[in-house]
Amino acid sequence: MKYVRGDARHLNHCVKLRVVYRFLAKALAAEVMELLEGTSLYLVGMMGSGKSTVGKILASALKYPYLDCDTLIEKMAGCSVAEIFSEEGEESFRELESQVLHELMPFKAVVVSTGGGVVVSKQNWGYMQHGVVIWLTGPPELLSRRALRDGTQSRPLLSQSSAGSDEGDDEYAATVAKLQDILDKRRHMYEQADLHIPLEISPTDPGDCGATPAVVSYRCWRLLCLPLSKTPSTL
């Protein structure tokens, strides 16, 4: 691939920014580790919000074990999430999800990424209140681009909605509509989270796929350094 001079400068600027954010995040992570005193972190958010990627970054910096609810459910069931939805239905999946969260509740000093629908159960909120709940939030358009980029095969709710759509604009429009519908139903539940972390590059520029995982993680560190209150903290 051939870069013109302007592209090279932009690439160099992006690399420098990543280095800066990693340095700042490392400094804040040490402070957060002391403040948390072993308190676990639970990441919630819509599909495409990057919970797994950000969760691994946070866990690595805190030296916490990282746990993914969907992976644990698959090990428990002996099949994939998509197969559970297809063969047993969503209700069976939600029961397994609650069972996994219940078993994780006694654990301290872990980072847990959850499925997008974990927030619909009041019981699940009871389990997660033993830790700090972090909501990664972004507009449906941004989430749709991310989800389509990563593939919908492992996302049962999304693959069902886009099954009859052609590639390209139709699939994107169907995905945006589906995610908007899901978000409208779940927003008030997500808003119960302790911390609200935006995925956009900035308030005026969401970007095609939003902020990088390094930037999103840095935003998490910033809010985790603040005293937790009864009202959610957001950037």
Cβ atoms of 232 and 191 within 8 Å: the answer is yes
- Read off the DSSP letter of residue 85: H
pLDDT classification of 43: cutoffs 50, 70, 90 = very high
* Position 13 pLDDT exceeds 60: no
Domain count, the chain: 1
Q: 118 with 73: CB under 8 angstroms?
A: no
For residues 39-57, give the mean pLDDT: 97
Do residues 232 and 190 make contact, with C-beta atoms less than 8 angstroms apart?
no
| Alpha carbon separation from 69 to 75, 87, 102 (Å, rounded) | 10, 19, 11
3-class secondary structure, 198: strand
174-221 per-position pLDDT tens digit? 999 999 999 999 999 999 999 999 999 988 888 888 999 999 999 999
**23 pLDDT more than 80:** no
Q: CATH number, domain at 131?
A: 3.40.50.300
C-alpha distances (whole Å) from 200 to each of 78, 126, 137, 218 are 36, 29, 9, 13
Return the closest-CA partner of residue 157 out of 167, 168, 144, 141: 144
Torsion sign across C-alpha atoms 212, 214, 215, 221: positive
Containing structural domain, residue 79: 5-234
**How many CA atoms does the CB half-sphere of 142 hold within 13 Å?**
21
Q: Could you say which DSSP state residue 205 is in?
A: B
Identify which has the larger pLDDT, 9 or 100: 100
pLDDT tens readout for residues 133-149? 999 999 999 999 998 88
pLDDT in tens, 79-125: 999 999 989 999 999 999 999 999 999 999 999 999 999 999 999 99
| The pLDDT of residue 57 | 95
Nearest Cα residue to 143 out of 190, 187, 199, 185: 199
Asked if pLDDT for residue 130 goes beyond 80, the answer is yes
Least confident of 19-28, 41-50, 87-96, 191-200: 19-28
Q: How many CB atoms lie within 10 A of CB 116?
A: 23
Alpha helices by DSSP H, listed for the chain, are 5-36, 51-62, 69-77, 81-87, 90-104, 122-128, 140-150, 156-162, 169-190, 213-224
Determine the Cα–Cα distance for residues 22 and 7; give it in Å rounded to an integer.
23
Tell me how far apart the alpha carbons of residues 114 and 141 are, in angstroms, rounded to a whole number. 21
Q: Pick the residue with more confidence: 129 or 22?
A: 129
Residue % of the chain over a pLDDT of 90? 64
Contact assessment for residue 132 and residue 36, using Cβ atoms and an 8 Å cutoff:
yes
pTM of the model: 0.86
Indicate whether 3 pLDDT > 50: no
